[in-house]
Amino acid sequence: MNMIKTTLAEQAYQELRSRIVSGRLAGGQRLLPNELASDLGISPTPVKEACLRLEADGLVVNSSRRGMVVRSFNVEDVEELYAARMLIEKGALEAAFDAGWIDDALQRTLGECLENHRRFAAGSTLDDLAKALSYDRAFHSALVAAARIPMISEAHTRIVGQTHTVFVAIPGDYSRSVEEHQAILDAIVAGKKSQIVKTLHQHLERSRQNTLRQVKVLAQTIETTLL
């Protein structure tokens, strides 16, 4: 992979972030700058800069013994992430609705995300799941962006990226997600604020419970391996 010199750190960041969120770099895996630099065809310096940004995103942690490693998530992490998502997504939608910004353009964007989400969610490979999750993120990002508060959208992007790394670490029941997104879009088209917020809350709550199950299964798998 050859990269344009003027944006090496940015491109390294985007590539490594994509690998983490898609599961190609799994939780607990070490990020060795020299090896990654060789793989990307660049020097270690932009890779190190990219890792620092990934650390700020909450996707990488700096271990005193192992250096930079892909972050693994526990139950407490998941509870905190979903509490934040509940506040941000529901609050953003309510603000957008009250301001009259739930418009036809948003509905078209959500519909396009949903169509692609549905197509890849029906697949059976990790690559299919990663692509489905990318459209899942796009759907939720569009909901938050409707409030037109860039600072909130940026925080939301970091949070959703963290929650989705759990899905690719150990895939759980993802089959209902598409229809839950459809229910949210249907409520938006109907123009009923209470129903919009209700369907979003139900979707996030089910996702929270599913993610917690995945984290617990992963923890049990690691514990069994160590015995």
C-alpha span between 22 and 205 (Å, rounded): 23
C-alpha span between 176 and 199 (Å, rounded): 13
CB contact set of 48 (below 8 Å; sequence gap of 6+): 33
pLDDT tens across the length of the chain (227 residues): 444 444 899 999 989 988 888 778 888 899 999 999 999 999 999 999 999 999 998 899 998 788 899 988 889 999 999 999 999 999 999 999 999 999 999 999 999 999 999 999 888 787 888 889 899 999 999 999 999 999 999 999 999 988 888 776 666 667 789 999 999 999 999 999 999 999 999 999 999 998 888 788 766 665 555 44
C-alpha span between 95 and 62 (Å, rounded): 37
C-alpha span between 120 and 133 (Å, rounded): 9
Which pLDDT belongs to residue 172?
Answer: 60
What SS3 state is found at 124? coil
C-alpha span between 116 and 119 (Å, rounded): 5
Residue 174 pairs in a beta bridge with none
Phi, psi of 61 (to 5 degrees): -125, 150
Which pLDDT belongs to residue 2?
Answer: 47
Which pLDDT belongs to residue 226?
Answer: 44
Q: Hey, what domains does the chain have and what are their CATH numbers?
A: 5-70 (1.10.10.10), 75-226 (1.20.120.530)
Dihedral, CA atoms, 144, 59, 12, 8, nearest 10 degrees? 80
Which pLDDT belongs to residue 72?
Answer: 85
Give the helix ranges, DSSP H, for the chain: 8-21, 33-40, 44-56, 75-99, 104-121, 126-145, 150-169, 177-190, 193-226
Residue 67 pairs in a beta bridge with 63
Q: How far is CA 154 from CA 125, 160, 177, in A?
A: 29, 10, 23
156 Cα distance to chain centroid: 9
